């Protein structure tokens, strides 16, 4: 007797198999992308916490070189950071809040002052711009649209405080356990390549930490220069608020300095056209000084990245993740360039 014939099994490369598993893979990719989008806020907080931990790591290692254990060094660094933050909140935040309130209250009057400009008058006669903007400010629609009313303000404040607390706790954890996190990540590489991976990883972490320190120094210089300039030109009533805003904006590569120039120039119009022109010229000059002298000198030893790549990285990061993306984009681009030089180009040269 002959064995019964079985129907031929589906070939592995049959059109049905290819279509079925291709569709299954596409559905799985869509599902995973939706899940990632749903937790994107948490991922951003994780990245921010790790970024801050890497930025503070050089200070921790400096204390460790002076006979302190890592836990003690982390505690000392956190104590200093929290002390400075508390001092800032107690001494400066009330002044900034008062000055921002003053800016808001004076905004309708500044709109009336703009009527003296002939070009603004022509635009106002044609489009009734000043009356519309003034009504928009005085009726409180701006605040309602921006925050969703008093309840929206409260929810945003609570959300911001919760996110800050989460980032702080995660940063402490990452800062304490950074060596073990690095070793666990390096062990994912094959044993033969592990020393090379460890070397590149340490260089990337060191570069990122130096970038954070350099960015903070650039922000402090921008804030101090704004404080001095506004006191000189007659914007002293808003000097601390403007210095704080410019310092924060300078953390955003490329775009931050442009936004700062626009803000100071518009406020300069409330004093006189001359002050506005001087402010515009000053900030355009300072932008060039920061871009071609201050920033390169501070960043040369930390992040080896061309200026064009900095601009592109900041724009792409800002488009993807907003302000956080623009801040994180430069060290990420520097890390990718390092891997490109040390891995890809080395392999190409060896062929």
CA 226/CA 232 separation, integer angstroms: 10
Q: What pLDDT was estimated at residue 157?
A: 61
- Cβ–Cβ under 8 Å, residues 227 and 70: no
Same-domain pairing of 177 and 207? no
| Residue 25 in domain | no
Q: What is the DSSP letter of 170?
A: H
Domain termination site, one of 181, 216, 240: 181
Q: What pLDDT was estimated at residue 146?
A: 46
CA 317/CA 330 separation, integer angstroms: 9
pTM of the model: 0.67
Same-domain pairing of 175 and 216? no
Same-domain pairing of 149 and 281? no
Q: What pLDDT was estimated at residue 310?
A: 72
Same-domain pairing of 77 and 207? no
| Residue 34 in domain | no
Q: What pLDDT was estimated at residue 139?
A: 54
Same-domain pairing of 235 and 284? yes
Same-domain pairing of 169 and 269? no
Domain count, the chain: 2
| Residue 87 in domain | yes
Domain termination site, one of 181, 212, 238: 181
Q: What pLDDT was estimated at residue 336?
A: 84
Q: What is the DSSP letter of 69?
A: -
Same-domain pairing of 56 and 148? yes
Q: What tokens were used for 310? A: 């900095």
Same-domain pairing of 328 and 211? yes
The per-residue b/e assignment along 284-296, b for 16 or more CB within 10 angstroms, e otherwise, is eebbeebbeebbe
Same-domain pairing of 47 and 175? yes
pLDDT per position in the chain (351 positions), as tens? 455 555 455 555 667 677 777 788 888 888 887 877 777 778 888 888 888 888 888 888 888 888 888 888 888 988 888 887 777 667 666 666 666 666 666 666 666 666 666 666 666 666 666 666 666 555 544 444 544 544 554 566 677 778 888 888 888 889 888 889 888 888 888 888 888 888 888 888 888 888 888 888 888 888 899 989 988 888 877 787 788 888 888 887 767 888 888 888 877 877 777 888 888 899 888 888 877 777 767 766 667 777 667 777 777 887 777 777 777 888 888 888 888 887 777 777 777
pLDDT tens across 311-341, in order?
A: 777 778 877 777 777 778 888 888 888 888 8
Q: What is the DSSP letter of 238?
A: G
| Residue 317 in domain | yes
- Rounded to 5 degrees, φ, ψ at 265 are -65, -45
Domain termination site, one of 181, 211, 226: 181
In the 3-class helix/strand/coil scheme, how is 114-127 assigned residue by residue?
A: HHHCHHHHHHHHHH
Smallest CA-to-CA distance from 44 within 54, 33, 55, 52 is with: 52
Same-domain pairing of 125 and 222? no
| Residue 21 in domain | no
| Residue 137 in domain | yes
Same-domain pairing of 122 and 214? no
CA 324/CA 312 separation, integer angstroms: 15
Q: What pLDDT was estimated at residue 106?
A: 66
| Residue 148 in domain | yes
| Residue carrying the six token digits 């002390």 | 83
Cα–Cα distances (Å) from 178 to 80, 112, 121, in that order, read 20, 56, 60
Cα–Cα distances (Å) from 17 to 11, 13, 28, 118, 343, in that order, read 8, 6, 16, 73, 37
pLDDT tens across 171-230, in order?
A: 888 988 888 988 888 888 888 888 888 888 888 888 888 888 888 888 888 889 998 998
Cα–Cα distances (Å) from 243 to 175, 266, 270, 288, in that order, read 30, 15, 18, 19
CA 186/CA 205 separation, integer angstroms: 13
State the residue range of the domain holding 247: 203-346
- Cβ–Cβ under 8 Å, residues 228 and 246: no
Q: Is 35 exposed, middle or buried (0-12, 13-18, 19+ CB in 10 A)?
A: exposed
| Residue 12 in domain | no
Same-domain pairing of 172 and 244? no
């Amino acid at each position: 007797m002959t064995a019964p014939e079985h129907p031929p099994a589906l070939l592995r490369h049959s059109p049905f198999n290819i279509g079925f598993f291709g569709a299954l893979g596409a559905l799985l990719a869509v599902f995973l992308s939706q899940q990632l989008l749903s937790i994107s806020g948490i991922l951003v907080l994780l990245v921010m916490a790790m970024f801050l931990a890497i930025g503070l790591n050089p200070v921790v290692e400096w204390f460790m070189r002076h006979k302190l254990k890592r836990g003690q060094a982390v505690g000392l660094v956190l104590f200093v950071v929290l002390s400075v933050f508390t001092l800032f909140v107690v001494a400066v935040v009330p002044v900034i809040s008062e000055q921002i309130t003053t800016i808001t209250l004076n905004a309708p009057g500044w709109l009336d002052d703009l009527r003296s400009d002939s070009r603004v008058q022509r635009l106002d006669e044609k489009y009734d711009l000043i009356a519309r903007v003034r009504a928009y400010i005085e009726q409180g629609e701006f605040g309602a649209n921006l925050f969703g009313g008093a309840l929206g303000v409260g929810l945003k404040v609570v959300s911001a405080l919760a996110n800050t607390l989460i980032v702080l706790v995660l940063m402490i954890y990452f800062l304490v356990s950074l060596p073990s996190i690095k070793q666990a990540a390096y062990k994912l590489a094959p044993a033969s390549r592990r020393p090379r991976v460890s070397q590149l990883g340490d260089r990337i972490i060191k570069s990122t930490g130096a970038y954070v320190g350099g960015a903070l120094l650039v922000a402090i210089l921008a804030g101090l220069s704004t404080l001095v300039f506004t006191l000189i030109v007659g914007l002293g009533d808003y000097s601390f608020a403007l210095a704080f805003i410019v310092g924060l904006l300078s953390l955003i590569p490329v775009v931050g300095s442009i936004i700062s120039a626009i803000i100071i120039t518009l406020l300069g119009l409330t004093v006189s056209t001359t002050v506005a022109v001087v402010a515009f010229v000053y900030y355009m000059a300072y932008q060039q000084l920061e871009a071609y002298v201050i920033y390169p000198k501070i960043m040369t030893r930390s992040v080896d990245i061309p200026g064009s790549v900095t601009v592109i990285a900041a724009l792409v990061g800002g488009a993807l993740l907003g302000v956080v993306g623009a801040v994180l984009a430069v060290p990420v681009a520097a890390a990718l360039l390092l891997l490109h030089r040390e891995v890809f180009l080395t392999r190409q040269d060896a062929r």
